[in-house]
């Protein structure tokens, strides 16, 4: 999978069309009413896959570790990711990656639990580790531990996100230097990085300045916020303040002629 550019989280096929029209590099499927990584209904996820086809990669939020464990333990068919994979047809392709959160996993052997669950998921989609910036509120492992544990499990990508979507975003829920430190730690471990967590439109340049591969948004590109509707014009605006646009603007600034 090519991990680079703006990721837009959508809840259905109509939003996926808007995100594609706006130029999103990656489409993520989730149901925002079900939490930070709320899993969409299989029918909705499969419909998004058909719309996206092979235009860009698509990824899927799969909820929290404990929820997925309960679904798989109750009935293998209760794993909704399996159901989505079974529904794919026509132009649809499997998700390029899946994400499972670690809320309520602090002080548990979460590395072993995550490895067991990852091994039970369908072969193909990349497994993405999730570090919550507001990890104390989520009762999740600290991001530093997630980086170390995920790297030991052979995970290639880290998502930095926030658990509480009603409070401050990733740049307000933790010490100011923390997001950059987590990105650097993941890089040192040989992992790619995606950063999310209620990133406002005006914060997108700040997010890119940390050097991630992916900046992930939803509320910034929605009419009426996170539970509103993705709009193509807002996606275009978000891309317009991305790294390529900012570098192009910098190249157009006349030189002062002063050498430093």
Q: What CATH number does the domain containing 125 carry?
A: 3.20.20.380
Q: Is residue 260 part of a domain?
A: no
Q: Is residue 25 part of a domain?
A: yes
Q: State the residue range of the domain holding 172.
A: 5-251
Q: Is residue 70 part of a domain?
A: yes
Does residue 197 have a pLDDT over 60?
yes
Per-residue pLDDT, averaged over 128-148, amounts to: 97
Per-residue pLDDT, averaged over 208-220, amounts to: 96
Give tens-digit pLDDT for 52-102: 999 999 999 999 999 888 887 776 545 778 888 888 888 889 999 999 999
- Structure confidence at residue 259 (pLDDT): 31
In angstroms, the CA 76 to CA 162 distance is 29
Domain count, the chain: 1
Q: Is residue 257 part of a domain?
A: no
- Structure confidence at residue 257 (pLDDT): 39
Q: For all residues of the chain together, what is the average pLDDT?
A: 90
Does residue 246 have a pLDDT over 90?
no
The reported pTM is 0.90
In angstroms, the CA 111 to CA 115 distance is 6
Give the pLDDT band (50/70/90) at residue 247: low
Q: Is residue 258 part of a domain?
A: no
Does residue 1 have a pLDDT over 60?
no
Q: Is residue 232 part of a domain?
A: yes
Per-residue pLDDT, averaged over 239-255, amounts to: 61
Q: Is residue 259 part of a domain?
A: no
Does residue 239 have a pLDDT over 70?
yes
Q: Is residue 97 part of a domain?
A: yes
């Amino acid at each position: 999978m090519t991990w680079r550019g703006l990721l837009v989280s959508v809840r259905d096929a109509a939003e996926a069309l808007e995100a594609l029209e706006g130029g999103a590099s990656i489409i993520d499927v989730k149901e925002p009413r079900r939490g930070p990584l709320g899993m969409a209904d299989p029918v909705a996820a499969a419909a998004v896959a058909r719309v996206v086809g092979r235009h860009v990669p698509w990824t899927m939020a799969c909820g929290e570790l404990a929820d997925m464990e309960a679904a798989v333990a109750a009935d293998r068919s209760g794993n909704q990711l399996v159901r989505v994979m079974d529904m794919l047809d026509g132009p649809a392709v499997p998700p390029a990656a899946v994400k499972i959160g670690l809320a309520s996993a602090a002080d548990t052997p979460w590395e072993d639990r995550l490895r067991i669950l990852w091994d039970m998921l369908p072969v193909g989609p990349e497994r993405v580790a999730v570090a919550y910036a507001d990890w104390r509120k989520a009762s999740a492992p600290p991001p530093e531990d997630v980086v170390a544990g995920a790297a030991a499990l052979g995970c290639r990508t880290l998502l930095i996100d926030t658990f509480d979507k009603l409070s401050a975003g990733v740049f307000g829920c933790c010490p100011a230097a923390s997001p950059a430190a987590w990105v650097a730690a993941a890089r040192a471990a040989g992992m790619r990085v995606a950063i999310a967590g209620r990133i406002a439109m005006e914060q997108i340049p700040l997010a890119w300045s940390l050097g991630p591969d992916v900046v992930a948004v939803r509320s910034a590109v929605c009419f009426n916020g996170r539970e509103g509707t993705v709009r193509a014009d807002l996606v275009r605006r978000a891309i317009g303040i991305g790294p390529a646009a900012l570098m192009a603007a910098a190249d157009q600034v006349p030189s002062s002629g002063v050498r430093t």
